[in-house]
Structure 1
Amino acid sequence: MCGIVGVVSATPVNQLIYDALLLLQHRGQDAAGIVTQLDRKFFMHKAKGMVRDVFRTRNMRALPGNCGLGQVRYPTAGNAFSEEEAQPFYVNAPFGLVLVHNGNLTNAQALKTELFSIDHRHINTESDSEVLLNVLAHELEKTTRGLPLKPADVFAAVRGVNQRIKGSYAVIALIAGHGLLAFRDPHGIRPLCMGRGKDGTVMLASESVALEGTMHQFERDVAPGEAVFVDLQGHVHSEVCAEGAQLDPCIFEFVYLARPDSTLDGISVYQARLNLGETLAKRVISTVPPSDIDVIIPIPESSRPSATQLAHLLGIPYREGFVKNRYVGRTFIMPGQGVRKKSVRQKLNVITSEFKGRNVLLVDDSIVRGTTSKEIVQMARDAGANKVYMASAAPPVRFPNVYGIDMPTKEELVAHNRSVEEIRNIIGCDALIYQDVDAMKSAVASARTASTVGKLHGFDASCFDGVYVTGDVSADDIVRINENRLKVEEGDADNSRLALPNASE
């Protein structure tokens, strides 16, 4: 799961891309990169770290040009510590291509073999994004018949890419001297939208907040299977380049990943989270009598809308019981489980008066591994709570995600092969209430307003229901994909729920 942006303008774009990446920082905090184009020459800077740390004044001055793209990286495969795997990626033929990618290819290993033995192309990293770039480069080489490059040639190449690659992908690429190309997988699993500035600047980005926060008017989402080509004069060409395309966006975007002020595929993220709180209220009532709950407290940050709606419907006071220290490093990078537990308490501090002598209902957006939930429940007890109930706005996470969210293997998931009662015992709460899968899907779908991307077919909710919408993921595939998960030293990283960036950080 990453954040990507691309811009074609009549004025320099380096600052604009930087500002957009800041607005997408919640989608990736491990590395950042920007590439710009001036007179067919690419200028690139990328490194590990947050946007504000990667780009200094000298770096920005070295990024001239009126078109470019950028990415904030949250790695799901390859090597988390490799500078080489920061994006964008570059190949010099045909024309010169740079690419940023959000998602995960499920057949990357097979494609590597094809690229080497048949296409005679070299892959130098473990990143599936470099694989995707080389597939695109090969298909573009096949379809081009000389200069100038025509949009029809670009779309033919994307059709070839869609036939070869599998998984989830939202892609933005620059073709040197010609323009910017963006395309989305046939299920629209990962988000991508387009907007325009008053000066005619065209921007594509992962979330609408990147457009609106840089004073661009949101126009529409890129449709599943659609390719958009923006030439250097800002003219937009588009075509659906995949057969049987249908909209099945990742539901975890609405549960947790996206910023609440974004709209994805016509669905308000904030409204979706309010709706999740409304449906969760029915589950709470069937498990714990509202009269037994003194106060409802969210676990910061993404659960706040759901907790607010839940409290309103149940007529129970809503309180902030945890204060987040925004200046502590992310807990998942702390070495070793002991330090990780300590860092949860460093990152969250309790307001004792909200817990002491009360029966509290804690609301979280989701529970993945359970280690954090267990620690937070204990923090509530240490603060003097009489009883600690916990509600999750999402259903139990029982299956790994293969489409670009680095969730643990199924053995690491607290809900895998366990009943709710068994999970409750592990977490240590007095009652545990989960959202229902169908109710979650209905709640998110009902937040959809008019959209330009067509009918909503469904959602990828594979981590909750085990149904992988691309229809090509087997148990063996999941084992193989997990073998290619982040290569880190033991104890260096916790690839759990805490590894996911928080939308409000």
Structure 2
Amino acid sequence: MSDAIKHECGLAFIRLRKPFSYYQQQYGTVMYGLNKLYLLMEKQHNRGQDGAGIASVKLHVEPGYPFLHRNRSIEQRAIADLFSQVGEEVADLEKYQSDIRKHPGLLKGHVKFLGELLLGHLRYGTQGKNNVEFCHPFIKRDTIQSRNLALAGNFNLVNTEELFGLVNIDPGVFQRQSDLAAMMEVVHHFLVQEDQKNPGRPDIAEVLKQSAKWFDGGYHFGGLVGSGESFVMRDAHGIRPSYYYISDDVIVAASERAAIRTTFNVGENEVKELMPGQALIVDVDGNYKIEQVLEAKERKACSFERIYFSRGNDEKIYRERSQLGYNLRDAVLKSIDYDLKNTIFSFIPNTAEVAFYGMVKGMEDYMNQIKVQRILSWGKDFDEEKLTEMINRKIRMEKIAIKDVKMRTFITEDANRNEMVQHVYDITYGTVRPHVDSLVVIDDSIVRGTTLKQSIVRMLGRLHPKKIIIVSSAPQIRYPDCYGIDMSKLGDFIAFRAAIALMKDRGMEDRLQALHEECKELARLGQLDSKNLVKEIYHPFTAEEISAKIAELITPPEINFPVELIFQTIEDLHLACPTNTGDWYFTGNYPTKGGNRVVNKAFLNYMEGKNERGY
């Protein structure tokens, strides 16, 4: 994504089902669980650049000894930092007893994170600041073992104020900035209530049923209870992804299927999807059940997971991203007037690469059809040279844009800073025939358009192509997200700015003001969640008109050749990604009422000049 957005967190959960001596005998190390947790987190590193955290619970600990441990880091290599501390702890013990690794019981007693219940988290900061205090897991400590709780997740909640009110808590400054803090208070509240009914053996399914019905948002979260129970749960719409794997040795859950497959070397069908509204619950003895905690609602799994967020080494995601690119074939062919001979195809590194291959495959299929038609039309009127020339025609592909990862925009003055931003990307000279070749460049999605205008289009312009066509494998991003992605300000979206510009071009400012007044009235009545008013801003215009306006907005004034934008259609998105139909950032069709409240609040902020989040 050329305009990077902060997004999904990653969850890693492991429950060891055998004694530590078993793992030492079977796998040659008592550190088996921690090693797997490290791998499971590293294979989801794409989901967290702001920090990481781990927690563990030890079973059957003697009274008075610690059983719940937690550590977090915001170092540049946070995962490595956390696990290197564990390694240093073991190394220090080996100074006094060199063979301590051969004594599982002794090692468990001295290594803090050598527990049977393990929880890992990778954080992308959406709500809250990027301080270590905001990194998951959060913990609640209590003198009663079964009321201790560690919690982490991948989610955003849009009703945190209501949640604090539910449990009669006046949140402090820190708590107001963290939706996990709100979730923790609610879950812990009902955990205590349940422990009062069943001392020492709380019914986790009941705790989750009482808690989750109050959460408005998309979520996948996991928890460890001090008495040895543990759980992972997914929201009722299945917005956030959740997968699990169970064997005789371990119970595992994570945010991505491929991470589990790689870490445990298992087949695709061995890793299951936790379905909407379900929880994977493990008791103190390692027995598990899949519980339908919330009634499943219409599946709205996040389509951005397939377009961009999840790692592309999952075979289904790879095929879907390829199909997204393939689906753009006809629109691109029309734009270049079917002139493949004078067109070069490339991609904006690096997340659009798979979609690029799909788009090229579409072009190759079209070219092969043309080859067959031409050859058949010749009859017997051809020679070896003519046939060879036709057969050897290829789609022209080049690596045009190169991201210079060494660039740092350290200059703070606006004018000089813009100059530096222009050079974040560089180009490959000599690849384009000036004023002859059209240049088609695919990106996975276009959010703000800032990098396109300030850097990419300017840099590509130095090659002097006949035309630049920017292709997005995602549809136009028009609305805020409030279920995990940090996209909450309407004014940030180039599609929204294009629609506003069209309204002004056509003298429709009075319509904009009328919508503002209607939105203020809904706010006064406490009905911001009743409908999405921002849809009315896009309604007068076709997708093509908005795309054309976006192209105008991202074209620097010195560019004197056409720049065109082509976006994926909603229909083709769903054809390519049939199981992930969540599309509210494109369509405005939010799965929960909280989404309507967020988009309308974002509109109010925009109209009133407030540079604030919509939730």
Common fold, TM-score beyond 0.5?
Answer: yes
Structure 1's 170 and 335: CA in aligned 2 closer, same or farther, altered over 3 A?
A: farther
> Displacement of 1:247 after TM fit?
2.2
| 1:137 aligned partner | 188
1:444-499 CA-partner distances (Å, limit 9, x unpaired): 11xxxxxxxxxx5x62211110110124432466527998xxxxxx9xxxx9xxxx
Contact 1:32 1:54 in 2 (8 A): no
Where do 5+ consecutive residues of structure 2 fail to align? Answer: 1-7, 21-30, 90-111, 365-394, 500-545, 556-561, 606-610
Q: CA deviation at 1:59?
A: 3.9
- Higher percent of residues as strand: 1
Query: In the TM superposition, what is the alpha-carbon distance from 1:338 to its structure 2 partner?
Result: 5.9
Matched with 2:487 is: 407
Over 3 Å counting, the alpha-carbon distance change for 1:340 and 1:247 in structure 2 is farther
TM-score, length-scaled by structure 2: 0.70
Q: Is 1:424–2:424 an aligned residue pair? A: no
Q: How does 1:346-385 map to 2 (within 5 A)?
A: 347-357=424-434, 358-374=437-453, 375-385=455-465
Q: Does structure 2 conserve the Cα–Cα contact (< 8 Å) formed by 1:402 and 1:481?
A: no
Q: Distance in 2 between matches of 1:121 and 1:141?
A: 19
Q: C-alpha separation between the residues in 2 aligned to 1:23 and 1:326? A: 22
| Cα offsets for 1:162-204 (capped at 9, x unmatched) | 211111110011011323210000001000100145x611110
Task: State which drifts further: 159-168 or 383-392.
Answer: 383-392
- Report 1:175-186 matches (<5 A): 175-186=225-236
- Give the corresponding residue for 2:163: 111
Mark the runs of 5 or more structure 1 residues left unpaired by the alignment.
446-455, 484-489, 496-505
Matched-pair contact (CA < 8 Å) for 1:409–1:482: no
Inter-partner Cα distance in structure 2 for 1:443 and 1:461? 13
Deviation per CA, 1:426-458, whole angstroms, max 9, x where unpaired? Answer: 22262111111121112111xxxxxxxxxx5x6
- Structure-2 separation of matches of 1:90 and 1:104: 18
Larger Rg: 2
Mapped partners of 2:413, 2:166: distance in 1: 39
- Residue number in structure 2 paired with 1:85: 134
Q: Is the 8 Å Cα contact of residues 359 and 385 (structure 1) preserved in structure 2?
A: yes
Aligned to 2:353: 304
Which has a greater percent of helix?
2
Aligned mates of 1:379, 1:169 — CA distance in 2:
40
Return closer, same or farther for 1:3/1:244 CA change in 2, 3 Å cut-off: closer
Alignment of 1:223 onto 2:275:
yes
- The answer to whether the Cα contact below 8 Å between 1:139 and 1:160 also exists between their aligned partners in 2 is yes
For the 8 Å contact 1:95–1:175, the answer to whether it is kept is yes
Per the alignment, in what secondary structure is the counterpart of residue 188 of structure 2?
A: helix
1:479 to 591, 595, 601: 601
1:270 pairs with 2:270: no
Q: How does 1:388-467 map to 2 (within 5 A)?
A: 388-416=468-496, 417-418=498-499, 419-428=546-555, 430-445=563-578, 456=579, 459-467=581-589
Q: Please give the TM-score of this superposition, normalised by the length of structure 1.
A: 0.84
* Closer, same or farther: CA 207–347 of 1 in aligned 2, 3 Å: farther
Aligned twin of 1:213: 262
Matched AA of 1:106: V
Q: Please, which of 4, 14, 19 is the counterpart of residue 7 of structure 1? A: 14
- Superposed CA RMSD: 2.8
2: distance between equivalents of 1:278 and 1:438?
A: 14
Calculate percent identity across the aligned residue pairs.
24
Query: CA–CA distance in 1 between the matches of 2:449 and 2:139?
Result: 40
| Cα distance in 2 for residues equivalent to 1:390 and 1:308 | 15
2:574, 2:495 → 1: CA distance? 19
**1:411 Cα deviation from its structure 2 partner:** 1.3
What is the Cα deviation at residue 44 of structure 1?
A: 1.5
Aligned residue pairs, count: 463
Offset of 1:339 from its aligned partner? 7.2
Any idea what SS the aligned residue of 2:446 has? coil
In structure 2, C-alpha distance between the alignment counterparts of 1:480 and 1:137, rounded to whole Å? 32
Task: Note closer, same or farther for the CA distance 1:389–1:136 as it changes in structure 2 (3 Å cut).
Answer: same
Distance in 2, Cα, partners of 1:339 & 1:235: 61
Label 1:58 to 1:376 Cα distance change in 2 as closer, same or farther (>3 A): same
Structure 1 residue 219 displacement after superposition = 2.5
